[in-house]
Amino acid sequence: MQYKTFIVDYDGTFYRSEKELYENMDLVKKLRQQGHQFMIATGRGHDSFAREMAKHQFEYDYLILCSGALILNKNNERLHHFSMSHHNSEKLNQIIKTYNDNLVSERYIYLDFVDQYYLPNEPLLKVAYTFQKQDKNLTLKKVLEEEFKDVFNVYYIAGTTHDYIEIIAKNIHKGIAIMYLRDLGLLNNEIFVLGDSENDLEMIDMFDGYLVSNHQVQSKKSYKIIESFEELIKVNVGKI
């Protein structure tokens, strides 16, 4: 049998409803029993995903957090991280202040903890902003992309009542994290990826992956669409 690796975004992809989540957890257990690998690749930080695991414990082989900036193994041990540069933090804060009337929260995801305050001497993995839903949030995203195009990756995630902007180091994303693990010889040869948002596109491009049918991506590029994680397994493994 040719063993495979399945790498899936969490929110909106693997977890779309409680019912589907538990069905997917059962699929993962069967997949891994057959020798295949399963990974979550999420924008969530370690603290946020740890809360999810406290509620919904399921198996995985590796875990990619902060949209690629942090990699853990199945024992929750840190394998690698990619820190952001602090050099542009003051300019970033100045731009965000012009949108303060719309800002709900800001979170700094450091290597070992999360804080609402910027700390210049701590290794910083990601900055996450939550805004009340308004059209100008997309304008802000474009401003940040233009201003920091050489130093940061900027992701925009549209929600129902709020919008989210996430910033990580330039040239770091979920696809790079997957490549890091693959180059160490830790992944099976065949890799299948599935996501639903802008911060999934790099890994989908790199590994010819899929967008789930409920995806939020607006792109001129055409992507392969698949209904669900269950369908991804059926197409690439068959009935398990």
pTM, to two decimals: 0.94
Second-level CATH architecture of 89-169: 2-Layer Sandwich (3.30)
Q: How confident is the model at residue 216, as a pLDDT?
A: 83
Q: Cα(52)–Cα(12) distance, rounded to whole angstroms?
A: 14
The amino acid at residue 50 is A
Distance of CA 107 to the CA centre of its chain: 16
CA atoms within 13 A on the CB side of 98: 11
Q: Cα(14)–Cα(44) distance, rounded to whole angstroms?
A: 13
**pLDDT tens, 131-168?**
999 999 999 999 999 999 999 999 998 888 999 999 99
Q: Cα(68)–Cα(125) distance, rounded to whole angstroms?
A: 9
Q: Cα(207)–Cα(174) distance, rounded to whole angstroms?
A: 11
**pLDDT tens, 184-222?**
999 999 999 999 999 999 999 999 999 999 998 888 788
Query: What are the angstrom distances between the C-alpha of 104 and each of 18, 132, 165, 167, 211?
Result: 27, 6, 12, 16, 29
Would you kindly state where each structural domain of the chain is located, as residue ranges?
A: 4-81+172-236, 89-169
Query: What are the angstrom distances between the C-alpha of 225 and each of 27, 99, 175, 228?
Result: 20, 35, 18, 9
CATH 3.30.2010.10 fits 4-81+172-236, yes or no: no
End-to-end CA distance of the chain: 13
